[in-house]
Amino acid sequence: MAGVVLKDVNKVYPNGYQAITDLNLEIADGEFLVLVGPSGCGKSTALRMVAGLEEITGGELSIGDRIVNDVHPKDRDIAMVFQNYALYPHMSVADNIGFPLKLAKVPKSQIRARVAKAASILDLTDQLDKKPGNLSGGQRQRVAMGRAIVRQPKAFLMDEPLSNLDAKLRVQMRAEIASLQKDLGVTTVYVTHDQVEAMTMGDRVAVMKRGFLQQADTPQNLYDKPANVFVAGFIGSPSMNLFLVKLGGTIEAPTIELGDQTLQVDPSALEGRSELTDFIGKDIVAGVRPEDISDAGLADEDERSPGETITTTVHLMESLGSEIIVHFPLPVESFSIMDAEFEGEDALEVATDSIGRTIYVARVSPRSQARLGESISLRFDTGRMHFFDPSTGLAIRD
């Protein structure tokens, strides 16, 4: 068993395109690390470099304690599960799973034993003689995993293995993969574009954008302490509301202007953010998660904090039963985490109402009396507000 270490890894293609820049990541032995990010962020490229399917242009890759930059994939002791499973359609399940062993010239009796063992772990024993064409999506997925397991590798690499499954199956397989990994204790690097999948499965999650590592941390830390605006907006669904506003007031009593209403920021938000003093009177990105906004009308008398309440109208309502998602307009500019030149102009489009105000999102209690088109008072839990430097995108900290 071994950990995987990427040190200053760079990937530049022959045409000059830099896919990965200065990637530094240490994956501990037995850890389940998820690489997540929008398409084109380099997560698959990074995984393929670890696998040996792509050349590493610069930097060092180690598996175990061995530098493996120039080592053949077969000798890196890794196993990969592809997005489309890559099952050999003309071979039976047993032959598919045993294929790597056959190539390694393992004696037939051993192959049979190891295949049987992998099959029993994955509940495939009844399927061993069937061909992949006769299996369900979930079963095929398991065969792909069986082929990886049977090699007893030092690390599993998984490239969006659940993308081809329907939603319900995906949820089920997520749990299966996670528990399987815990049982086997094998270091796993998992790539996905789905942040929910990332958050539920990973011991740690590495968020990437355009070839740069944004932040690698536990899911809770990514949620509570995003290192920059991108991570803040990427993690969490619905996404964090990002207001581009001026920081007003004083450092003891800061305020932000949301249109013609002023929001008083709870001083507890300043803890650990001493640099905020430099931003008084300047532009700042203030982030509030939808779940940190509540219906002020439901609060008890003594909990009402008028300074933290904003009045607006209900633009759209989505009743989920367990909560209500309220879309509301504010005449405040939103900060976009997408890249115009990379994701295209369309990615920059924000929802606006008929008079050009940006629509933001709140998650309120199902007991809320909100009505479509009517006025609503929303209380912002400013103690849980996030602040970012609009020029660098970095979180404002100590």
Picking from 170, 287, 242, 236, the residue whose alpha carbon sits closest to that of residue 36 is 236
The residue among 83 and 313 lying less far from another protein, judged by its C-beta, is 83
Picking from 232, 214, 271, the residue whose alpha carbon sits closest to that of residue 397 is 271
Composition of the chain by helix, strand, coil, percent to 5: 30, 30, 35
The residue among 53 and 116 lying less far from another protein, judged by its C-beta, is 53
CB atoms within 10 A of CB 84: 12
The residue among 27 and 144 lying less far from another protein, judged by its C-beta, is 144
Tell which phi-psi region holds residue 281, choosing left (phi > 0), alpha (psi between -120 and 50) or beta: left
Least CB distance to another protein at residue 103 (A): 5
The residue among 21 and 69 lying less far from another protein, judged by its C-beta, is 69
Angle between helices 108-121 and 137-149 (to 10 degrees): 130
The residue among 49 and 314 lying less far from another protein, judged by its C-beta, is 49
CA–CA gap between residue 34 and residue 44 (Å, rounded): 11
Least CB distance to another protein at residue 119 (A): 18
Least CB distance to another protein at residue 76 (A): 9
Least CB distance to another protein at residue 210 (A): 24
Burial of residue 95 (CB within 10 Å: 0-12, 13-18, 19+) is middle
Q: What 3-state DSSP class applies to 317?
A: strand
Interface residues with another protein (CB under 8 A)? 51-55, 70-75, 78-80, 82-90, 99-100, 103-104, 147, 151
The residue among 2 and 49 lying less far from another protein, judged by its C-beta, is 49
Least CB distance to another protein at residue 87 (A): 8
**Angle, CA 8 vertex, CA 7 and CA 14 arms, to 5°:** 125
Least CB distance to another protein at residue 92 (A): 13
